[in-house]
Structure 1
Amino acid sequence: METTRTPSSGDPIRVTSELTSDDLAVARAVLTAAVVDDGREAVSEAGRLRLRAGAERPGVRHFLQLAGGRPAGYGQLELAAQEGGRATAEFAVHPELRGQGLGGRLAEAVLGAATGQDVDFWAHGGHPAAARLAARHRAELVRELRQMRRPAADVPGEPVLPAGVVLRTFRPGEDDRAWLGLNALAFAHHPEQGSWTQADLADRMAEPWFDPAGFFLAFRGDDLVGFHWTKVHPDGLGEVYVVGVAPTEQGSGLGRALTSAGLRHLILERGVPAVLLYVDADNPAAVRVYERVGFTVHEVDLMYRVRRTGEAG
């Protein structure tokens, strides 16, 4: 599907569900420049994984914006799969072309494509321009995602597992189904993580950074009851990518033990200088766990919601 959407003024914005190589070049030019200028990614990991020529994901739309023939903006919209769900949007303007109204026109095109759906959009790093756009569209702040970091100087002690629990690493192709099941259970409340499919898992396992030796699974007998998936970024930083614990193990100390196991791997085996993680501000229990092992807030990502359906709450 390919269309062209013309905002209230300015050059037409190309909208497509399947990127060509030229589209991909525009998107990457914008996003690469934004990373250099802002010091952070303008689009989430999930969004970046969709940036592949010829790849089409159901419900995903890409928005390519040019100004005078040069890459000016990129947006991505994921429509809600179910009635009553919310669409999710991310977009960025090339740093050299900011302040000219291009972001407003791009936002208009992205929001206009989500007819009848509420739209959540991210402001990575809490950029002031995003706050201004949110005010213009009467969007409300609904989520604060904190990036926390800790130096590698202090190595956690050996993990103390609950009685009857053993730890081993992930086996691709063998553990996929069990992990997806526990991930869905552990993150049933989470708007993104809990909805992962086999395709989402396969996308990550195909990435250069994937290392099963840093993907720890906790078993009680034959039952998978917890996990800690770590990641090492191209710049050498480590990440507590995701930690999940079965509801039946909450309060047992398993989450703390898994966190320690992953941190020790990143620091002692991979030699990272520091470790980062992301946690929602409205999850104080998780925030306290991470603060106790030395993490402090580094920056925040903000999510704003544009209400289109009239539903309350």
Structure 2
Amino acid sequence: MVEPTKARVAVAAHPAPLEPGTAAAVRRLAADAAAHDGVPPLSEQPLLWLEDPEAHVVHLLATAPEVGEDEPAGPEPVEHELVGYAQVEVGSGSTARAELVVHPAHRRTGVGTALLDAARVTAGKVKGRELRVWAHGDLPEARALAQSAGMAVVRELWQMRLDLAQRPQVPDRALPPRVTVREFVPGQDEEAWRRVNSRAFAHHPEQGRMTSADLRAREAEPWFDPAGFLLAERDGMLLGSVWTKVHPEGEHGDERVGEIYVVGVDPDAQGLGLGGALTDLGLTSLTVAGLRSVILYTEASNEVAIRTYRRAGFERSGVDVMFGDDTPRSPSGATMAP
């Protein structure tokens, strides 16, 4: 337990999983922040881990007495409202990654600082790991909190967006010889896909560590549709895939938005042009489904990918930043000012 702040806020650490009622309260908190800020404060994986008993995370809950409860507590317990939340991943790796959210009505009262302090304590208890914190949308409040804590940007993730009406009118790139494409079959293709995904993203800090449980959790989500999950094979061997996602109204604007969720190609199949052909198939699939806009995410440091996506009509539409205690680095690896 972290000592209450001047705002009478206390932060308590809870192991995984959260109780359903508490998890629902976290989702409501995140939804309120998203409506206020125009960007979801928590990414997909932390939301999936809220009630996952196998998740290697610590949940930090910031609570405060309800408005008007200034008198000492009587014989009945005082109800507290959830005013902030942070999740710290303490699994494999040399760092502990965190995401946090503060309710818009309780900002600038010390809640964010209390959560960040608790996250640092949590990270330090796990083999002395340093803390990395994602901030979605790169909002001024997040910058200010990070600066006050002495943290600087150590990584950037771009969101890029394409208006499908502006997509170049050229035929989809052809698949390599003898390569065929089919839909993903739940209950059959999980392990083969995960094996190729791990090889394709061996050096990616998040995507390359997707487990079977992570994949099954996504299959259980309302948005999952095997028709938008295409596998490329040659002689029965999986070479790569494109996985698309459709976001409902409200998540990325006033209309449904498609996403090129994952494009992965086995390293042994690199150089065949398969990645480009799969991306084209994904965009065509989303166009046929009636979507008008498509997003994707890519590292700011991946200049080759950014040039490729820009040629396809994508432009940067948002950025997520990771703050840490290291000396900040530019996408090319050179030192830069925070």
- Taking structure 2 as the reference length, the TM-score comes to 0.84
Indicate if the aligned counterparts of 1:7 and 1:109 stay in contact, CA closer than 8 A: no
> In 2 relative to 1, CA 252–23 (structure 1 residues): closer, same or farther, beyond 3 Å?
same
Selected match of 1:249 from 266, 269, 275: 269
Matches within 5 A, 1:1-313: 4-6=1-3, 9=6, 10-17=8-15, 18-52=17-51, 55-69=52-66, 70-81=81-92, 85-115=94-124, 116-153=128-165, 154=167, 157-235=171-249, 236-268=256-288, 270-306=289-325
- C-alpha displacement at 1:7, in angstroms? 5.3
Question: Which amino acid in the other structure matches residue 100 of structure 1?
Answer: T
Q: State the Cα RMSD in Å.
A: 1.8
State which structure, 1 or 2, has the greater radius of gyration over its C-alpha atoms: 2
Aligned counterparts of 1:138 and 1:244: Cα–Cα separation in 2: 36
Indicate if the aligned counterparts of 2:9 and 2:111 stay in contact, CA closer than 8 A: no
> In 2 relative to 1, CA 22–99 (structure 1 residues): closer, same or farther, beyond 3 Å?
same
Question: Larger deviation: 142-151 or 63-72?
Answer: 63-72
- C-alpha displacement at 1:47, in angstroms? 0.5
- Taking structure 1 as the reference length, the TM-score comes to 0.91
Partner of 2:123, secondary structure, is coil
- C-alpha displacement at 1:137, in angstroms? 2.8
Partner of 2:42, secondary structure, is coil
Question: Which amino acid in the other structure matches residue 64 of structure 1?
Answer: L
> In 2 relative to 1, CA 156–243 (structure 1 residues): closer, same or farther, beyond 3 Å?
farther
Indicate if the aligned counterparts of 1:23 and 1:64 stay in contact, CA closer than 8 A: no
> In 2 relative to 1, CA 7–220 (structure 1 residues): closer, same or farther, beyond 3 Å?
farther
Question: Which amino acid in the other structure matches residue 242 of structure 1?
Answer: V
Partner of 2:18, secondary structure, is coil
Aligned counterparts of 1:29 and 1:181: Cα–Cα separation in 2: 35
| Structure 2: stretches of 5+ with no match in the other structure | 67-80, 250-255, 327-334
Q: Give percent identity, aligned residues only.
A: 43
Question: Which amino acid in the other structure matches residue 51 of structure 1?
Answer: L
Indicate if the aligned counterparts of 1:168 and 1:216 stay in contact, CA closer than 8 A: yes
Number of matched pairs: 300
Aligned counterparts of 1:287 and 1:251: Cα–Cα separation in 2: 18
